[in-house]
Chains A and B, each alone.
Chain A
Amino acid sequence: MHIHFLDPFIAGQSAIHRLDPRVKFVLAVAFILTAALTPSGAWPVYVLLFALAMGVIVLSELGVGFVFRRAVLALPFVLAALPVIFTLPGVPLFSLSLGSWGLTATADGVERFVSIALKSWISVQIAIVLSSSTPFPELMVAMRAARVPRLLVSIFGLMWRYLFVLADEAMRLLRARSARSGATGLPGMKVGGSISWRGRVAGGMAGNLFLRAIERSDRIYVAMLSRGYDGEVRDLPLPPLRALHWLVLICGVALLGMLAIFGFLFYG
């Protein structure tokens, strides 16, 4: 039994799926960069970025609902921006008092917060399309081509490979626990043990998993050394990019650049 549900890749034949992964990677990073650089309150630019993202989602044939559901991932990160509402100076909107503390929300703060929330939401959508339409090994090739440091790329690769091994290991530990979680059926027995005991058991399992991960990483490293690993990652050369993909890349970067300049000129 293996865990597959972690892999975000969904096979398909859409235009986005068939686009060279190097082009996809560079455009996705450029898109996220443009969204991040757009000044807060530049609503028309957000609408254009959102329309662009929607276009890509529709082209990718992944389903708008699917991408939106996955995009909920961005929510916890948006929470981190919540204090901005109260810390930015500006026109006061309303006040909250917590005991001796007073918090005053400002219009500028709310505008900044909504901007951050929108920008991260749109960016996450693009990241989801990238990871769902590109198999991970191809994504790594794209990172290499985009000159992401090789060591970092190989760390990503190992992490990806062993994430599944570790998840399988955790699943087997959980299975062993449920196999021995039984009830005798005799009256007057409180099945399940105390909460603190269950906590200790879960803690022991987490510790076990950690030890096994460390030991496995040692064994893997020894196996790598015995096959000649010397800390330097070597790769095969990449095939050249096709003309059509160059065109997509140049047009995409130009479009995003124009959006960024538009945002700066009118709202910066």
Chain B
Amino acid sequence: MHHEIEVSGLSFAYPDGHVALRNVSLHITPCEKVALVGPNGAGKSTLILHLNGILNGGSGTVSVCGLEVKKENLARVRAMVGLVFQSPDDQLFSPTVYDDVAYGPIYQGLSAAEVDGRVREALQAVRMSNYARRVSHHLSMGEKKRIAIATVLSMKPEILVLDEPTAGLDPRARRDLIKLLDDLPITMLVSTHDLRMVQELFPRMVIMDEGRIVADGETAVLLKDQALLEAHGLELP
């Protein structure tokens, strides 16, 4: 089957010996929107960084869109998985918004006209069209987050992976972002502490703690299990 994330038996330890993932298995079907929740240090970001091969070297396998994530496939995998880092300051590395959004398409070797089209489309999608010439450095947090999402949308990824997209946003920016994510018709895996957003946006929820997946199921059902939430440091909104 195309369009999916398949993680099986993934374990990973950082070079300093800290074990971040213990035998993690996860299966996501096309166009599914899944939330990844759990306390800080549970291994959410480590798992996310495996999906496009930024981290590797542990045991187990990761496949995206039917392609195993390994050295020979890295370039293809990175074009298919759009990874948005938690801090937009990590994501935006170019002088202007336009340069940043154009990076992915230019790297892929698209023609100048195509690149321009992709940038316009991506900025349109995050409703930031008139920001193209702005310096990303001077934007507000909410604006930077949207631009960060545009930088991966311009690559037309098949899977969107976001690390804590609503962290540090004011209520209006958060509302806008939730609406934006709701409108995007692609497979999505979102790591977050924002359970209200999970309730609203994600039919399926995966809970991680201490490097393991401790629960995986329907959001509506899991959010009713008070004991489970408490055991893993989560609070019902």
Q: Do A and B come from one complex?
A: yes
- The residues of A with any CB-CB pair to B shorter than 8 Å are 1, 4, 172-173, 175-185, 189-193, 197, 201, 204-205, 207-208, 211-212
B63 is an interface residue with CB less than 8 A from chain A: no
Starting from the known contacts A172-B90, A175-B85, A178-B54, 10 additional A-B residue pairs (CB-CB under 8 Å) come to A175-B90, A176-B91, A181-B107, A182-B77, A182-B79, A182-B80, A183-B78, A189-B110, A192-B109, A211-B137
B76, A204: Cβ atoms closer than 8 Å: no
Most buried by B among A4, A172, A179, A183: A179
B43 is an interface residue with CB less than 8 A from chain A: no
In the assembled complex, the CB of A38 is this many whole angstroms from the nearest CB of chain B, namely 42
Q: How many residues of B are in contact with the other chain, CB < 8 A?
A: 32
* 6 contacts across the A-B interface (CB closer than 8 A): A175-B85, A182-B77, A182-B107, A191-B108, A205-B93, A208-B137
List of A residues within 8 angstroms of B99 by Cβ: 201, 204
Supposing A191-B108, A191-B109, A193-B109 touch, asked if A183 and B93 sit within 8 A by C-beta, the answer is no
A-B contacts at CB below 8 angstroms, number: 89
B131 is an interface residue with CB less than 8 A from chain A: no
A191, B75: Cβ atoms closer than 8 Å: yes
In the assembled complex, the CB of B171 is this many whole angstroms from the nearest CB of chain A, namely 26
9 closest cross-chain pairs (CB), A and B: A182-B79, A182-B78, A183-B75, A189-B109, A172-B90, A180-B104, A190-B109, A204-B94, A204-B95
Q: B78 touches which one: A4, A178, A204, A207 (CB < 8 A)?
A: A178
B183 is an interface residue with CB less than 8 A from chain A: no
B106 is an interface residue with CB less than 8 A from chain A: yes
- The residues of B with any CB-CB pair to A shorter than 8 Å are 14, 16, 52, 54, 75-80, 83, 85, 87, 89-95, 99, 103-104, 106-110, 137, 151-152, 155
List of A residues within 8 angstroms of B94 by Cβ: 201, 204-205, 208
A193, B106: Cβ atoms closer than 8 Å: yes
List of A residues within 8 angstroms of B91 by Cβ: 176
List of A residues within 8 angstroms of B93 by Cβ: 173, 176-177, 201, 204-205, 208
B16, A180: Cβ atoms closer than 8 Å: no
Q: A192 touches which one: B14, B78, B107 (CB < 8 A)?
A: B107
List of B residues within 8 angstroms of A211 by Cβ: 137
B137, A180: Cβ atoms closer than 8 Å: no
List of B residues within 8 angstroms of A191 by Cβ: 75, 107-109
A179, B95: Cβ atoms closer than 8 Å: no
